[in-house]
Amino acid sequence: MPDPTWAGAPVERVAVVGAGLAGCLLAALLGRRGIAVDLYERRADPRTAGAERGRSINLAISARGLDALDRVGLADQALAEALPMRGRTLHPVRGALGFQSYSADGTRAINSIGRARLNHALLDCAEKTADVTLHFEHRLTAVDADTGTLTFAEGGTRQADVVIGADGAWSAVRRSLQFSEGFDFRQDFLPHGYKELEIPPTPGGDFALDPGSLHIWPRGSSMMIALPNTDRSFTCTLFWPKAGPGGFAALDTPEAVTAYFAAQYPDAVPLMPRLVEDFLRNPVGSLVTIRCAPWVRGRVALLGDAAHAIVPFFGQGANCAFEDCVELDRCLDAAGGDLARALPRYQERRKANAEAIADMALENFVEMSDRVNSPVFRWTARARHALERAVPGYVSRYELVSFTTVPYSEIDGRIRRQDRIAGAVALGAATGAAAAAATLRRVRS
């Protein structure tokens, strides 16, 4: 991909649109390089206005996210405010709970943290960074990719040498590019949506469930999950069809909600005193995968969900967006700080990785909602963990995604190579055992 036509021109001011997780991290990274950054956000400052209720989806921050946060000195703070989850606890309709460890030795964990809490920390970090200026209640309506002119709903325009859209799946920056010639855009909605509920602390102030686990109520075509919070509550998220039997639209009365949960989630109902109120009040969010290209056009670039929104079933949305920021920072190093050279290389290095994790996230919905109940799945998981303990260097796909920074696009190829090697080892062992048995029979005869 060639460098933009403005390559070589000085970059004195960058506009980052979207003060969510990725936008704040990127602003801090750029500001630390001495680049003047204007960080624009359509909302009021969430540190004073509060988070949007019912749409947070707790984050599962893992190795990729922690690596990125460490670059701005926030990894330790994030871990101090998070709860480690070392596996999944499965809640059947009837019968005993089951536990599936994320790693062979049971020690590795993904970390549950509230989106709002982490966003506040990143906003503080960006605000304290020299050369970064925050602008709240600035709703972008258009951006000119040729000139870097931003137009806001509140009136007036602002100018930037480079505009980077980190404004989420419904990106206003991307919308300004979408209908230009040669811009490819695709959005795929699942027929499912999501709704958040809560399991509060027990009357004695303790966790109502094991806080060291991600809890899943798998029900085939739907599920509920629960992640622990530091206030000893759990954020529960329903992933259900929007319509049809067992869908959100079908439960529109208190009696219908109560009856359905009693049938499908009987162990959770006593733990959710505000179940009916929260269910009928909280909104239903959409689950979408967005793919587009190019991510860089003129003086405009896209990053995070604005470039590649994914569904949340691998817990990698924020981790992937943070990796975008890290990769762009690396490309700036390689380009001697020249954004015109760095941005095209950032796209080249990240596009395949974004496509790979988007596909894996879609696949993981089927695993979490259905396959985890299968005896075959459970046997396969135990076999993979046994291989990890027995074969040096063997790592499961889940561990490669969650506990390493191996590029997403390389993971499936590595798994195939591992499986071929493991198969050859197993075949060799079986052949050796057969030969030994034949020798033993000859000796005995």
Q: What is the pLDDT of residue 428?
A: 56
- Output the pLDDT for position 372: 58
Give the pLDDT score at 390.
Answer: 66
Q: Residue 384 has what pLDDT?
A: 66
Looking at residue 56, its pLDDT comes to 61
pLDDT number for residue 444: 45
pLDDT for 445 equals: 44
The pLDDT of residue 232 is 96
In tens digits, the chain (445 residues) has pLDDT values of 666 776 667 788 999 999 999 999 999 999 999 999 999 999 999 999 876 654 566 899 999 999 999 999 999 999 999 999 999 999 999 999 999 898 888 889 999 999 999 999 999 999 999 999 999 999 999 999 999 999 999 889 999 999 999 999 999 999 999 999 999 999 999 999 999 999 999 999 999 999 999 999 999 889 999 999 999 999 999 999 999 988 999 999 999 999 999 999 999 999 999 999 999 999 999 999 999 999 999 999 999 999 999 999 999 999 999 999 999 999 999 999 999 999 999 999 999 999 999 999 999 887 766 665 666 666 666 766 677 666 667 788 899 999 999 999 999 999 988 888 766 655 554 454 444 445 445 544 4
pLDDT on residue 105: 84
Handedness of CA 387, 389, 390, 395 (dihedral sign): positive
Question: What pLDDT is attached to residue 10?
Answer: 75
Residues with Cβ within 8 Å of residue 137, at least 6 apart in sequence: 41, 42, 43, 44, 154
Per-residue pLDDT at 376: 60
